[in-house]
Amino acid sequence: MAAAVGCGIGCSAASSAKDAMGPIPLSYFGLHLHRADRGTAWPNVPFGSWRLWDAGVTWAYLEPKKAYWDFSRLDRYVAMASIANVDIVLPLGASPQWASARPYEPSAYQPGWAAEPAQIEDWIRYVQVIGNRYRGRIRHYEIWNEPSDKAHFSGDIDAIVRLTCEAKRVLHQIDPTIAVVSAASAGGGKHIEYLDRYLAAGANKCVDIVAHHFYVFRQGPEAMVPFIRQVRQVMEKNGVGDKPLWNTETGWWLANGDGTPDHPMVAKGGWKKLEWSQESGDVLERALMLARAEGVERFYWYGWDNQYGLGMIEPTSGKPKPIVDRWRSVVQELQGATGLRCSQRGREWTCSYTRRDGRLQQRTWLMP
């Protein structure tokens, strides 16, 4: 458990990342909501940003037939976000079968969705339609999802770079204040190498924000730190070290408490199971502090109503899991905080920061 104690003079810990981002904004605390218009009650916790992945609003849903558009769900989501003053990041991608370069190729979703579009003109038109319709209401667009996984994107590096750069060109013509978020790979090793090749192939000239998915689902959040530092090295190498870094997706297996059976994706996939105890809340708190201390500007937790083992609410009853109370208290504690720094000494980790009320705080824990 992370213990909170008062912090005196000289207790701040050293950090490898510069604390140049100022107070922690509410937008740092992001969520994924999959079914906000299909039975999921709006979260009764503070959060400032919403990533619309696995929410039924990718290209294949919006334009299931060429020139036939269905904006009903996305319109509802945008209206919800406006009322709640929550910022949306919309991933662009998932070629509808009619537009796909390989329409019958298997994917993580439906056949053809992982392939790049056969005609770049269809992609350009899609981006133009979305950008114009939601001008002034959606300010962040992310390119595809986890392209280093062939089940999500089966094209080559040149294809994803071209999609990125065309999206940037089109969106900035519509509104120069729109920010393009890079295609985000998931994990370390070959996935960070993919980011390196993606940026080096020309995406470094076409992204305003660099994104990565810092999943460490077999370990605790401390394992994110070396991955974050490796991504920063890749960013520096490719001339985008001054751009914001976002963690647009990360989560852990959260045990169900309403009797819903564990989903095979996590039960057989080697995921670390966080039991129905304080453990899940501790992992949440440590993850948010460590990522921010390493200079990550947004952290999107996956997900609020996920039904495959990662949900913060129960998959059958919809009742909140214990992690929800910790999310609320952690956001209340960290929002507006400054000077967040973390350090490690053996198994012991320490994070310190100044709360928005001026009090110095420190969290110390032993890494499991």
Q: Could you list the pLDDT tens digit for every one of the 368 residues in the chain? A: 444 433 332 333 333 344 457 899 999 999 999 999 999 999 999 999 999 999 999 999 999 999 999 999 999 999 999 999 999 999 999 999 999 999 999 999 999 999 999 999 999 999 999 999 999 999 999 999 999 999 999 999 999 999 999 999 999 999 999 999 999 999 889 999 999 999 999 999 999 999 999 999 999 999 999 999 999 999 999 999 999 999 999 999 999 999 999 999 999 889 989 986 778 999 999 999 999 999 999 999 999 999 999 999 999 999 999 999 999 999 999 999 999 999 999 999 999 999 999 999 999 999 87
- The number of C-alpha atoms within 13 Å of 222 and in the hemisphere containing its C-beta is 18
Q: Which residue has the tokens 């979703």?
A: 109
Specify the amino acid at residue 227: F
Q: Does domain 23-340 have CATH number 3.20.20.80?
A: yes
Backbone angles phi, psi at 14, to 5 degrees: -75, 155
Q: How far is CA 234 from CA 7, 198, 293, 352, in A?
A: 35, 10, 18, 27
Tokens of 319: 């009742």
Q: What gap in Å lies between CA 206 and CA 286, rounded to an integer?
A: 33
The domain spans of the chain are 23-340
CA end-to-end distance (rounded Å), the chain? 10
SS3 for 30?
A: strand
Contact indicator for 250, 301 with CB cutoff of 8 Å? yes
Tokens of 72: 């009903």
**Nearest CA-CA partner of 193 in 216, 227, 218, 221:** 227
Predicted local confidence at residue 353, as pLDDT: 97
SS3 for 73?
A: helix
The beta-strand segments (E) located in the chain are 3-6, 29-31, 49-51, 87-92, 140-143, 179-181, 210-212, 245-250, 253-254, 273-274, 298-301, 338-345, 348-354, 360-366
